[in-house]
Amino acid sequence: MVRATAADVAREAGVSQPTVSRVFSGASVSEDKVKRVRNAAEKLDYRPNALARSLITGRSRTIGLVVAYFENPFYAEALEQFSTELKKRGYALLLFLATNDKEDADSLVQDLIDRQVDGVVLASISLSGELTQKLRQLHIPLVLFNRGTMDSSISAVTSANVDGAAQVTDYLLDTGHKRIAHIAGWSGSSTGRDRRLGFETAMAARAVTPHAIIEANYFRESAMQACRALVPGDIKQAGTNQTINENSDYEKPDAIFVGNDYMAFAVLDCLRSETNLEVPEDISVVGYDDVLMAAWPAINLTTFRQPARRMVDRTLDVLFELIESTDVDVQHHQIAGELIVRGSSCDRSC
């Protein structure tokens, strides 16, 4: 079969070839001609050439999403939602992986330019400063996703991390926990800083001293090490069910608030496989994000739900406003979430 061309559609519809191009580029064309062209295209199974259309409109109808890593399943889920929502808007998604190396900024920006993206979403990357400066110089619209910024000239969409972390902390205090530890994310990210701030602020408001705060940088192994450090007297000796009680005077935490679900999964693995402690009878564990795996019966994690779908929708709304107009105010949005209580936590009377 020979693929239909714009000229074939023009002959079938009884219009000129430039009219066909205008119809598929969204230019002003009479309703009658639009109907005739689209009926002809459907009959001939014609698909417009996206590259040719971009040359006419000056737009590629492509959005670049820059992500540093996918270990955290929150970003994999967000990627799917970005792709789905962009398709509804008639746009395609191009994924760019960053290394978080500052020297990578130049080559990454060049890739974005070469692909002629209409806008950029930056997520989970530490080189936001270098990238945003270069993209602004090139007048490429951008929005930060799940990453706040001190730069008042850059639009950003995050969850309400300070308030969410405070709600988790209040929940643990209200359910009778007294020795609450926090395994934090990376202090170089606004997300990590804000969730730690929410925890510390809520503890201070109730005149309770944090049992411990350990930064694990969003790494699984670092979260495992942090967990071992928090329960040293309950770690099992290799090959046995006997625990090493070297710190008999040490009181372990009765709850651990973990900076995201990905690290919380590691903490649960540590407690369940390397100690004789029971979750939640001996120690409660709470995460943050509410990724799909958190609800699996084998995990059953209490967590704070980060409203990913609403965050994605708001991010794209802001981005398309920037694409459509240069006279748009910078926007900073914080989307509220909710606490989801499952089986990894309980009242201390349980």
Q: What is the pLDDT of residues 226-241, one digit of tens each?
A: 999 999 988 886 656 6
Query: Rounded to an integer, what distance in angstroms lies between the CA atom of residue 155 and that of residue 286?
Result: 30
Per-residue pLDDT band for 3 (boundaries 50, 70, 90) equals: confident
Using DSSP bridges, classify how beta strands 62-67 and 92-97 pair: parallel, antiparallel or unpaired.
parallel
Where, residue-wise, is CATH 1.10.260.40 in the chain? 6-57
Per-residue pLDDT band for 129 (boundaries 50, 70, 90) equals: low
Q: What is the CATH number of domain 6-57?
A: 1.10.260.40
Crossing angle (nearest 10°) for helices 73-88 and 308-324: 50
Q: Which CATH number fits domain 161-306: 3.30.70.20, 3.90.170.10, 3.40.50.2300, 3.40.190.10?
A: 3.40.50.2300
pLDDT value, residue 105: 64
Its CATH architecture, for the domain 62-159+308-338, is 3-Layer(aba) Sandwich (3.40)
pTM for this entry: 0.81
Closest CA relative to residue 69, chosen from 165, 186, 215: 186
What integer best gives the mean pLDDT of the chain? 87
pLDDT value, residue 54: 55
Q: What is the 3-state secondary structure (H, E, C) of 129-165?
A: HHHHHHHHHCCCCEEEECCCCCCCCCEEEEECHHHHH
Per-residue pLDDT band for 247 (boundaries 50, 70, 90) equals: low
Per-residue pLDDT band for 100 (boundaries 50, 70, 90) equals: low
pLDDT at 268 over 70: yes
Check the CA dihedral 189-192-197-200 and report its sign: negative
Which tops the pLDDT comparison, 136 or 72?
A: 72
Closest CA relative to residue 287, chosen from 341, 334, 251, 229: 341
Where, residue-wise, is CATH 3.40.50.2300 in the chain? 62-159+308-338, 161-306
pLDDT at 304 over 90: yes
Q: Which range is least confidently modeled, 23-32, 254-263, 280-289, 294-303? A: 23-32
Q: What angle do CA 219, 314, 109 make, to 5 degrees?
A: 60
Mean pLDDT over 97-124 rounds to 77
pLDDT value, residue 342: 98
pLDDT value, residue 125: 63
Cross-strand bridge partners of residue 142: 120
First-to-last CA distance in the chain?
A: 70
Q: What is the pLDDT of residues 166-223, one digit of tens each?
A: 999 999 999 999 999 999 998 888 899 999 999 999 999 999 999 999 999 999 999 9
pLDDT > 90 fraction of the chain, expressed in percent and rounded = 59
